[in-house]
Amino acid sequence: MASTAQKLLFFVLYAVVNGVTLMKVMAETEYKTNSPIFIFGDSTADVGTNNYLNKCTARADHRYHGIDFAYSKPTGRFSNGKNTADQIVRLLGNHQLSPPPYFALLSHKQTLQRNLLRGSNFASAGAGLFSETGQIQFIKVICMEEQIQQLAAVRRAITDLLGSPKTVDNLFHNSLFIISVGSNDLVEYTVSHGGIIEHPKDLIANLTQAYSRHLTNLYNLGARKFGIIGIPPIGCCPASRVFNTTGGCFEVMNDIARSFYKSMETLLVDFSFLYKGFKYSLGNTYAMTMNIIDNPRGNNFKEVKTACCGSGKFNGAGECKEGANLCFNRDDFLFWDWFHPTEKASELAALTLAYAEGTEYVTPMNFSSLAIA
C-alpha cells in the first residue's frame, strides 16, 4: 500500500504533466474513491450544527452528553456517544463519523471545497418538515428548507472546485442523501393542541406534502439516492410517558407516526415512477423500536421506559444536563435522554438500516444496497 508521501508525489507529478491544479487532482481522486454522504434532519442526526447558533436553546454541547464519546467530549450530539448518523456512515465504510456540520466546514475556508467532497451534515436539533417548527420553542433552528439551501451553496462550491457541472451531476447522482426528520413537527403540533389531534388526515397530508417538496428540491439539485429514516414511536419516549397516567405510551402520537409512515411509503413509490433515476430506502424505525420495547431481553436491553439521563418520572420530565440523574450501565438503556436513543440503540438501528434483509424494517432495499445501486 502506498504511503501518504508516495500518494502526494503521484498527485504532484500528475498535475504537472496534465497542466491542472494539485487541488483539483486530489479532489477528483477523493470523490471517485469515496462518494459523499449528505445528512439532513433534526436532533437524531445533528452532530453539532446548533453549536454555531448563538441564540438556539436546542443544544447538546454540555455534559452529560458525549460522556462515552472520545475524551468524554460533548460535541452537540444528543447521545452519550455516537448517534445514528455516525453509525450509518461508519458501517457504509466512508469514515468513522458523520461528515462535519456545514457550519464547521465554513469555518475552515482554505480547505472548504475539498472537505465538502466527503459530504456535509446539515441536520439541526429542533428542526422539522415545516419551516416554522422549533423556531419559537428553540428561538432559532435550521429548518429543512434552509438545510437544502445550504446544500445548494455546497454544490456551487464543489462546481468551482471541479470546474464542470456535469462532473458535479455525476458526483451527486452517486452520493447518498440521508434524511431523519418529522418527529418535532408531530410533537409540537400535539403539545400545542393539548394532546388532541382533531384532523389527523389533514396533518398527515400536510406533512407528506412538505416532505414531497423537500425531496423534489433535493432531486433538482442532483440527489438521486435517498436514505429515509422514518419517525419512531415518539409516544413511547420517556418525555411522552410522563403525560400518561398509566406510564404507558402516548398512543395519539404513535397513531400519527404509523399513519405517516404509510403515507411516506406511497409517496416514495410515486417518486420512483415520476422521477428518472430516483432510488430510495425507507427505514421503519417505528417497527424497529417497538421490537426492542416489546422484547428488550432478546435485544440485550434491560430498561426501555426510563431514560439514562434526565430528571423526574422516567427521567423524562427534564433534560439531560450536569446535575441530572445519570445511569452508569448505559448499554442497558434504550433511551439516553427524554427523547433520544443511547449510542448502543443507535448502533443497532444503523445495523438494521444498513444490512437488514427483507422488508420488515427497511424497504425496498437496505442502505448498503442503496449506496452501490
Which residues belong to the active site?
43, 337, 340
74: left (phi over 0), alpha (psi -120 to 50) or beta: beta
- The set of residues, in sequence order, having a beta carbon less than 8 Å from that of 242 and lying 6+ positions away, is 312, 313, 314, 316, 317
User: What b-and-e string marks burial along 337-347, b requiring 16 or more CB atoms within 10 Å of the CB?
Assistant: bbbbbbbbbbb
- Cell numbers at 206, concatenated: 400536510
Closest CA to 44 of 304, 337, 318: 337
With beta carbons less than 8 A apart as the criterion, state whether 292 and 299 touch: yes
DSSP 129: S
For residue 37, give the 3-state DSSP assignment. Answer: strand
Instruction: Tell me the C-alpha to C-alpha distance, in Å, between residue 116 and each of 17, 123, 242, 272.
Output: 26, 15, 42, 28
Alpha-helical segments (H) within 163-221: 165-174, 183-192, 200-220
- Cell numbers at 254, concatenated: 404513535
Longest alpha-carbon distance in the chain:
74
- Give the integer Cα–Cα distance in Å for 321 and 65: 7
